A and B are shown apart, each in its own frame.
Chain A
Amino acid sequence: MLALVLAHLVVAAALPMVSARSRRAAFGVAAILPALTLVWALANAGPALGPGLTSTTAWAPTLGLELSFRLDALALAMIVLVSGIGAVILVYAMGYFGPTSEDATRSAALLLTFAGVMLGLVLADDLLTLYVFWELTSVTSFLLVGQSGEKRENRRAAVQALLVTVLGGLAMLLGFVLLGEAAGTYRISEIVAAPPTGPMVTAALPLILLGAFTKSAQLPFHPWLPAAMVAPTPVSAYLHAASMVKAGVYLVARLSPGFSDLAVWWVPVVVAGLGTMLIGGWRALYQTDLKRVLAFGTVSQLGFLMVLFGAGGRIAALGGIAMLLAHGLFKAPLFMIVGAVEHATGSRDLRKLSGLRTSMPGLAVAAAVAAASMAGLPPLLGFVGKETAFEAFLGEGGVRGWAIALGLLAGSVLTAAYSARFLWGMFAAKPGVAPTPVHAPGPLTTAPIWLSAAAGLALGIAYPLVDAPAEAYAGPGEYQLALWHGLGPPLLFSAIAIGGGLTVHVLRTRVDRLAKHSPFDAQHGYEGAIAGLERVAVAVTGRVQVGSLPAYLATIIVVVVVLIGPATLFGGAWPVGQPLYHSIIQVPLGLAVAVAALAVVKARRRFTAVLLVGVIGYGVAGLFIVDGAPDLALAQFLVETLSLVAFVFVLRRLPAHFTEQPSPRRTQWFRAGLAAVGGTVVAGGAVVLSAARVAPSSTSADFIALAPDGAGADNVIAAILVDFRALDTVGEIGVLFVAAAGVASLVLATRYDRKGLSASVESGQGSPRHEEDLVG
């Protein structure tokens, strides 16, 4: 299964080559792999509905990390959405993106990448594997919403989606770690089979739910989903309706069998789910952009799915699987229809569209079929799912059962209402609005719409096909998915939902006026939170980064003194018989260093100070030679020379003298005292520490013994650098690499900042013109 996921990524990486020849072919090639995945999953339906199909690849065995995958009933249902609808939408994208579209190449590769990582997510049987794919879907969603990044609204929506989902993702990772540690395993199937208990689990579950809620746009995190509608329609249909936003629902469905009897699990799920279903449905009623109508509808339906999977109970789970499939199969075609209509008319504003029923009759029928499934009309799959949902909670009875059932009923009324509003808004002939001129969409656009809308109808009639995975997920029992359960309360509820919805639609002018008065706006909450975060960041940076070198140095010295001073004083001992010097040449060298150090303090000119610092460096290098460390001395000499040169280069831009006005006497005394204490502590600490070693180091003995044969080097320093501790060397040159990039960009970037307006994208540091100027 890992190979299947990786194949998606490999083909995605190769897609730009296909796209260079033909944009359409790129989407066509991209659709092949998801289609094959669907075939593979359906061919393995037998074992998947039974014990499940597993495969495991250990990638860091010593850490117990592995990539484990499992195909079971729930994963199968999700693959129908991820790969099945994915393939259909990729075919639709062939028609949607024009042959010259600049976004096509990137979108094709990213959509297939997304299909791959989403497949990994639904197949993952390991919490950490799941987390990795989870975040990868967030990243691909960010890139797909942001598109080329040229439009401000794209960037804002992409950042909002990323921030919200990644916030939840991080919380979820914490929850995963807690849960995995409590259970002693990160294998999801094992955790669900034998759910752990205890305070750690109680802490873990809300964190995991936070991840699920942000990903599936639950209250109060939902605004990112409508905002993400700035993405091209295939992206919205695929990521933000059919698959990615279901990841949170999927996670709840995955863990619910183990935890749905815990109040800490089902209460937040049911409350957030019902709230989301109602708010989303209500908001959908006054949107004028048809895509946003659908987006809020998706938010609402995700809440519905959350309730079904999170509340626990076999029948609710049956309804959950049915609604999961139904939602993908009606929401994807509805989005595609919006895209097709937008292409055909140039608008998706329901106040401007008129008379499309007569000019686009085919699409109108397809939309009616899909919207009927959304509203819950027989014999569509949406009806089957909704019936089962009502049955689950009406059958449960009690306060909880009735409360949930009535909540779902209210949500279903709204669902029926916005379904009607969508159909009316898109296709009806409106009085006072001239019929919108259209040019008919091609078969590449309409065929995928028909295929997925018809699938919703076919699965509704052939409900046993859905019942098989649903029962494999929920467990065997008496109640089964069916079109006709006889007259009873669920049927009555369905009828009320449809009737109520149509009534709300008929009274739409009044509802419009009412719906605009919304008590609170979650989007404002998000913007407030971001603005607050920025204010805090500015305040903290302003306090911590005061921009004064003496303040920074004082902080460092105080920390050194406070940490090292007492430890040296109480923990160490002055070495016995410490000679003042053991080679006469150390005396002049030491004196030179000390005199230079004292003279630096009195230096008035920067250039003098730099030269004196150089003297200190060379003196220390001389001491290294005397003590028999030629490698060290060589490096020290060279580095000292280079830093001297660098200083002199920089000094050309600085005033020749240090600041003219002397600082107040008290400050001077404080600094002198601090410097004296710091110097004494460091020097004293060095002497005391040199006495701490009482025997030759065993490590260096090994190094010396092994160097000639093991590393082929007589020079043990070289052997350590390039062989024994070679990893350190690689890491250090990596640091140098980053530092060089930093210096270059700081120095060269600021000069362009100063030039102000003339700084354009082309004159950046890496541009050829700039290189020419400098390298010649």
Chain B
Amino acid sequence: MTIFDEWDAPREPWMLPGACRRGRTRRLLLEVAARTLFPTMLVFSLYLLLVGHYSPGGGFAAGLVAGLAFVLRHIAGGSVGFGMLVPVRPPVVIGSGLAIAVLTALVPLLVGSPALSSAKLAVDIPLLGPVSAQTSLFLDIGVYLLIVGVVVDLLRSLGAGIERDMREAEEWLP
């Protein structure tokens, strides 16, 4: 359209999974930003997950941050999914999150406590010193996985699903 579009479209594959959008819809700034922000956001989401017991954060917020990282990558690079060597489907992640949460709820029954009760686990790690965590962290991990899965699933249905529809209906041809 304009010279600006041509100038802005990058030629190198910037996205980590290797999949890039085609030609004209690529944006250099977006791709570079996604390349840097994506891992940062994932690390930040882990931080939020672990810090949840002591500061604002927790599994829900952490899961949303990680999910938004995937959303950003999808908008920039067009790929959906977790980009892992072994392809993992979002419903599997959702299911394992729910399973972990439910198992965390039921494990206390095995040791004779009421369901959903929690305990402190303390370990002495060499060099790092004593590290302790509450068992309810596992519940948070379950929530985290479920939320990430839900967001990526949403991406799959609303993002890529609709995109494919439109391509098939020839309304929008990237």
Contact = CB atoms under 8 A, between A and B. Distances in A.
B162 A635 contact: no
A535 B118 CA distance: 53
Contacts of A536: none
A631 B58 CA distance: 9
Given A649-B159, A729-B143, A712 B134 contact: yes
A639 B65 CA distance: 10
A748 B161 contact: yes
A743 B58 contact: no
Interface in A612-626: none
Contacts of A741: 91
Interface stretch (A417-425, A541-549, A768-776): A768-776
A723 interface: yes
A730 B104 CA distance: 10
B120 A712 contact: yes
Given A642-B151, A774-B161, A715 B54 contact: yes
Given A711-B136, A715-B54, A733-B97, A747 B158 contact: yes
Given A638-B64, A649-B162, A740 B149 contact: yes
B98 A737 contact: yes
Nearest to A772: B87
A741 B154 CA distance: 10
A48 to B, nearest CB: 37
Given A713-B54, A747-B162, A638 B61 contact: yes
Contact of B68 (A633, A642, A712, A727): A642
Contacts of B156: 744, 774-775
A652 interface: yes
A713 B157 contact: no
Contacts of A747: 157-158, 161-162
Interface in B53-83: 53-61, 64-65, 67-68, 71, 75, 79-81
- Max chain A Cβ within 10 angstroms of own Cβ: one of B53, B57, B61: B53
Given A638-B61, A774-B80, A713 B53 contact: yes
Interface in B119-142: 120, 132, 134, 136-137, 139-140, 142
A744 B162 CA distance: 11
A361 to B, nearest CB: 61
Contacts of A713: 53-54, 134, 136
Contacts of B164: 751, 773-774
B58 A722 contact: yes
Nearest to A768: B89
A641 interface: yes
Chain B interface secondary structure, helix, strand, loop or mixed? Answer: helix
A630 B56 contact: yes
A644 to B, nearest CB: 10
Interface residues of B, number: 61
B15 interface: no
Interface size class of A (residues with CB under 8 A): 35 or more
Contacts of B116: 723, 726-727, 730
Contact of B71 (A635, A642, A743): A642
A704 interface: no
B68 A638 contact: yes
A771 to B, nearest CB: 6
Contacts of B54: 713-715, 718
Given A645-B71, A773-B164, A774-B161, A723 B56 contact: no
Contacts of A646: 154, 158
A652 B139 contact: no
Contacts of A712: 53, 118, 120, 132, 134, 136
A324 B125 CA distance: 73
Given A722-B58, A747-B158, A653 B52 contact: no
Contacts of B81: 774-776
Given A630-B56, A734-B98, A740-B149, A635 B61 contact: yes
A634 interface: yes
A744 B153 contact: yes
B150 interface: yes
Contact of A722 (B94, B102, B140, B162): B140
B52 A715 contact: yes
Interface in A744-763: 744, 747-748, 751
A730 B102 contact: yes
B34 interface: no
Contacts of A748: 157, 161
Contacts of A645: 68, 71, 75
B146 A737 contact: yes
Given A733-B101, A775-B89, A744 B157 contact: yes
Contact of A737 (B56, B87, B94): B94
B68 A722 contact: no
Nearest to B17: A776
A634 B142 contact: no
Interface in B85-110: 87, 89-91, 94-95, 97-98, 101-102, 105
Nearest to B78: A776
A650 interface: yes
A522 interface: no
Contacts of B137: 722
A509 B115 CA distance: 72
Contact of A653 (B150, B160, B166): B166
A727 B60 CA distance: 15
Given A642-B151, A645-B71, A715-B57, 17 more contacts: A630-B56, A631-B56, A638-B61, A642-B71, A713-B54, A714-B54, A715-B53, A718-B57, A723-B116, A733-B101, A737-B150, A747-B157, A747-B158, A774-B80, A774-B161, A775-B87, A776-B79
18 contacts: A634-B56, A642-B151, A653-B162, A653-B166, A712-B132, A712-B134, A712-B136, A713-B134, A718-B140, A721-B60, A723-B118, A726-B105, A729-B101, A739-B150, A740-B91, A743-B153, A744-B157, A771-B89
Interface of A: 630-631, 633-635, 638-639, 641-642, 645-646, 649-650, 652-653, 711-715, 717-719, 721-723, 726-727, 729-730, 733-734, 736-737, 739-741, 743-744, 747-748, 751, 771, 773-776
5 nearest A-B residue pairs (beta carbon): A638-B64, A712-B134, A747-B157, A713-B53, A722-B136
